[in-house]
């Protein structure tokens, strides 16, 4: 498809389990972002990739959060030993077609994570 | 620290009227500002981008202003329709590769 896709759309995890969230960005987009959105709030930045390089991970809340984009396309956000405070919607966005400096971001539908 | 504030209360207006949403920021000098629309259960959708050297930008029924002295952006929807009902997010560039800093969003409800 033409848009950003994320899977799974919903994930329920027991506290202490590890989870992996997948993002398929728009083909040819150089930049990829992960955001966390709590209910009733705006998205909060987690981490950013330019191609396969993770250039900014300042928003990751703890060392339990890890993201990768090994081939500069698909990205995975992994959360180890999930805690209840990790419950949120995780949004992926891509931007900047190769050779451009366009900054608008295209978001996927998000993965709603519930930790019980 | 950087702070972005949008109208905290939901905005309810009558169909056909102009909706005006406010975004204020402090401790920051963004190179550009963006507005997104978000419907329940969906990701944000890009609407408009305005740069620091632009005062106003229009797209169909949408208009955005950017006052870097007041540190404020206004987002207008003219001739509003019930289909415009959604949450609208203001976002500033984080000056580091394009990451965005979002406001908390304003929920707009347009009644027929």
- Inform me whether the pLDDT recorded for A59 exceeds 90: yes
Lowest mean pLDDT among A27-36, A48-57, A97-106, B6-15: A97-106
Amino acid A96: pLDDT: 80
* Average pLDDT value for chain B: 93
Size (chain B), residues: 112
A13 CA: distance to closest CA in chain B (Å): 19
- Do residues A66 and A18 lie in contact, with contact meaning Cβ atoms separated by under 8 Å? no
Amino acid A27: pLDDT: 92
Percent of chain A with pLDDT over 70: 95
pLDDT, one tens digit per residue, over A9-49 is 999 999 999 999 999 999 989 999 999 999 999 999 999 99
- Does residue B11 belong to the interface with chain A, where contact is any CB pair within 8 Å? no
Amino acid B31: pLDDT: 86
Distance between CA atoms of residues A107 and B38, nearest Å: 10
Amino acid A2: pLDDT: 81
Domain regions of chain B by residue span: 3-111
- Does residue B46 belong to the interface with chain A, where contact is any CB pair within 8 Å? yes
- Inform me whether the pLDDT recorded for A101 exceeds 90: no
- Inform me whether the pLDDT recorded for B18 exceeds 90: yes
A103 CA: distance to closest CA in chain B (Å): 6
* Average pLDDT value for chain A: 94
- Inform me whether the pLDDT recorded for B27 exceeds 90: no
Local structure of residue B83 (DSSP, 8 states): G
CATH number 2.60.40.10 is the correct assignment for the domain at B3-111? yes
**All domains of chain A in start order, with CATH:** 5-115 (2.60.40.10)
E-state strands within B19-85: 19-26, 32-38, 45-51, 56-59, 62-67, 72-77
Provide the pLDDT confidence category of residue B96 given band limits of 50, 70 and 90: low
- Which residues in A lie closer than 8 A to residue B30 (C-beta atoms)? none
pLDDT, one tens digit per residue, over B55-92 is 999 999 999 999 999 999 999 999 999 999 999 999 99
CA quadruple B72, B28, B84, B56: dihedral sign:
positive
**Omega prior to B3 cis, within 30 of 0:** no
SS3 sequence of chain A: CCCCEEECCEEEECCCCCEEEEEECCCCEEEEEEEEECCCCCCEEEEEEECCEEEECCCCCCCCEEEECCCCCCEEEEECCCCHHHCEEEEEEEEEECCCCCCCEEECCCEEEEEC
């Amino acid at each position: 498809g033409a848009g950003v896709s994320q899977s799974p759309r919903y994930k329920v995890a027991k506290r202490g389990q590890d989870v992996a969230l997948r993002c398929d960005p728009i083909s040819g987009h150089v930049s990829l972002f992960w955001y966390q959105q709590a209910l009733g709030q705006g998205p909060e930045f987690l981490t950013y990739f330019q191609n396969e390089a993770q250039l900014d991970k300042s928003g990751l809340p703890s060392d339990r959060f890890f993201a990768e984009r090994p081939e500069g396309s698909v990205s995975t956000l992994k959360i180890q030993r999930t805690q209840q405070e990790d419950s949120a919607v995780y949004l992926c966005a891509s931007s900047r077609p190769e050779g451009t400096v366009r900054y608008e971001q295209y978001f996927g539908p998000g993965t709603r994570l519930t930790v019980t | 620290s950087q702070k972005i504030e949008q109208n905290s209360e939901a905005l309810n207006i009558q169909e056909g009227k102009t909706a005006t949403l406010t975004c204020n920021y402090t401790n920051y000098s963004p190179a550009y500002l963006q507005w997104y629309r978000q419907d329940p259960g969906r990701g944000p959708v890009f609407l408009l981008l305005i740069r620091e050297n632009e005062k106003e930008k229009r797209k169909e029924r949408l208009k955005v202003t950017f006052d870097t002295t007041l540190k404020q952006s206004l987002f207008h929807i003219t001739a509003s329709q019930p289909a415009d009902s959604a949450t609208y997010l203001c976002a500033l560039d984080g000056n580091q590769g394009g990451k965005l800093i979002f406001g908390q969003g304003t929920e707009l409800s347009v009644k027929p």
